[in-house]
Amino acid sequence: MKSTRTQLLAPAVLAVAALTLVTGCSESNSGSSGPVSITVAGMPNNQQPELLNNFNRNISDFTKANPEVKVVGDEAVFDVRTFQALLAGGKLPTVFYVPFTEMQGLIARKQIADITSAIGADSMVSRINPSVMKVVKDSSDHVYGVPIQAYSMGLLYNRDLFKKAGLDPDKPPTTWDEVRADAKVIQSATGVQGFGSMTKDNTGGWVLTTMSYANGGTIESADGKNATVDNDATRKVLEFYRSLRWEDNTFGSNFLIGYNDAMKAFAGGKIGMFVQGADAYTTLVSNMGMKPDDFGLAPLPQAAQGLGALGGGTVAIINPRASAAEVKAAIKWLEFVNLRKYGSEPEAVADAKAKVADKQPLGAPALPLFDQATTDRYLGWVKDYINVPRQNYAGYFATAQTLALVPEPPTKAQETYGALDAVVQAVLTRRDADIDALLKDAQRKVQAIIAAS
């Protein structure tokens, strides 16, 4: 019997092994004054030969201008599940790209390099739009990254469905009441659900947050010390959801939808309108086969007291293990490869040519990284290569300069979004959901999340 017992306990213990987490060994780079070697993410794969050529040409041009720096390309891309392993195993490239939403957590955990002192006053970086730069700074104005692309959340709509429903695709709704009315028209004319929203993997809370901003409320106080979930703007958004779901029945029937589910449904013409980042164009058109002319984008409708829209984008960060010399070389490189095109016509044209040759969109909806004059000058240089129907997003571009970019909740944004997912799911799956009680409960949970940080 004794041996039977150990045999039985062995699988139990081994099963537990599956739960425990492995940490890799770490290595540290020592600072050196001689030649510097950096690894840089962003290398395109073989599927994009022209972009890869352009990337390699950039490396050789950069090395010619900076002979003391050796640059090695790396195809690694950000994934929340592998980032920690890359860092722990010492495999994180010197220059790496992460989404806006990750910055706050990375800064809080001190997992990226503080590059404040490495950015010169004459650098292109110091000319980046200040409201975009806010994303890469901590509360004491230290800089932890360089934004290379930015967008704001907007109202995405299917222009083809608008046409089929007899709506004017060039006149998207500008208020939430109009969104509701148009959703009804789309639903009754085409049978396709008029409105939709992501609801799981923290995306439900993400969208609820940006819609609360548009209605004049926040989720956390500006200093990140207090939860402010239980507010009238958020209540209004949830009431809006409730009306579309239970009164109009224009919200579909599945409310466990993540980012990819919603994108696929929208690309396939199964959702009329939804709130999403304006950068979705590239994924929808290049990867999911949506027709460029079907993609509609309007600025996020703002209530009278609306605060603006949540922003998103890509940030270049630097490995926290990099030596001072490596940080310096890395910043030089990331400016060279990402920002130079905004100041040099030949660079802008070469980059545009490669993108178009590899069937990547050029001129896709985005927020200007710099002031409008710099952006207009760049667009003038590449105007012959633009392959995106930008006239369709005139409304979005028109407000891009004036609509305020509101930052994410300052403390534990992802966990906060997770707590809000449950609220959104409750309103959409239960007809009798008590919005006041849900907000009170979420307020308590978010406060607990802040307290535990």
Partner 1 sequence: MHEAVPSRRSRGLISWVRRGGLSTLVFFLPVLLSFGLFSWWPILRSLPLSVQRTNFLTTDWVGLDNFTRVLADPLLLTATLNTLWFALLALVFGFPVPVILAVFIAELRRTRGLASALVYLPVIFPPVVAVLLWKAFFDPSPTGVLNTILGWAGLGPLSWLNDGDLAMISIVLQATWASFGTATIIYLATLMGVQTELYDAAETDGAIALRRFWHVTLPQMRGVLLVMMLLQLIGTFQVFTEPYIMTNGGPEDRTVTILMLIYRYAFVSGDYGRATALSLLLAIALSGLSWIYLWATKRWSTS
Interface residues with partner 1 (CB under 8 A) are 1, 5, 8-9, 11-23, 26, 80-81, 83-84, 87-88, 105, 109-111, 199-202, 252-256, 258, 320-321, 412, 414-415, 418, 421-422, 425-426, 429-430, 445, 448, 452
Give the integer Cα–Cα distance in Å for 273 and 200.
Answer: 18
Given a contact cutoff of 8 angstroms between Cβ atoms, the answer to whether 322 and 95 are in contact is no
Give the nearer residue to partner 1 in terms of CB position, either 6 or 47. Answer: 6
CB of 176 to partner 1, least distance (A): 24
Residues with Cβ within 8 Å of 447's Cβ and at least 6 positions away in sequence, in order, are: 226, 227
CB of 90 to partner 1, least distance (A): 9
Give how far Cα 293 sits from Cα of 159, 179, 244, 367, Å.
7, 20, 27, 20
Give the nearer residue to partner 1 in terms of CB position, either 83 or 241. Answer: 83
Give the integer Cα–Cα distance in Å for 195 and 180.
Answer: 8
DSSP SS3 for 171: coil
Give the nearer residue to partner 1 in terms of CB position, either 133 or 433. Answer: 433
Given a contact cutoff of 8 angstroms between Cβ atoms, the answer to whether 206 and 198 are in contact is yes
Give how far Cα 425 sits from Cα of 112, 236, 245, 247, Å.
34, 16, 11, 17
Strand partners, 154: 276, 299
Give the nearer residue to partner 1 in terms of CB position, either 110 or 359. Answer: 110
CB of 225 to partner 1, least distance (A): 18
Give the integer Cα–Cα distance in Å for 316 and 100.
Answer: 10
Give the nearer residue to partner 1 in terms of CB position, either 44 or 93. Answer: 93
Give the nearer residue to partner 1 in terms of CB position, either 258 or 292. Answer: 258
Question: Tokens in use for 366?
Answer: 């985005």
Residues with Cβ within 8 Å of 334's Cβ and at least 6 positions away in sequence, in order, are: 40, 95, 146, 148, 316
Residues with Cβ within 8 Å of 155's Cβ and at least 6 positions away in sequence, in order, are: 172, 173, 179, 273, 274, 275, 297, 298, 299, 300, 301
CB of 2 to partner 1, least distance (A): 11
Give the nearer residue to partner 1 in terms of CB position, either 185 or 422. Answer: 422
CB of 24 to partner 1, least distance (A): 8
Give the nearer residue to partner 1 in terms of CB position, either 256 or 362. Answer: 256
Give the nearer residue to partner 1 in terms of CB position, either 300 or 419. Answer: 419
Given a contact cutoff of 8 angstroms between Cβ atoms, the answer to whether 423 and 323 are in contact is no
| Backbone phi, psi, residue 137, to 5° | -115, 150
CB of 32 to partner 1, least distance (A): 19
DSSP SS3 for 61: helix
Question: Tokens in use for 446?
Answer: 């978010």
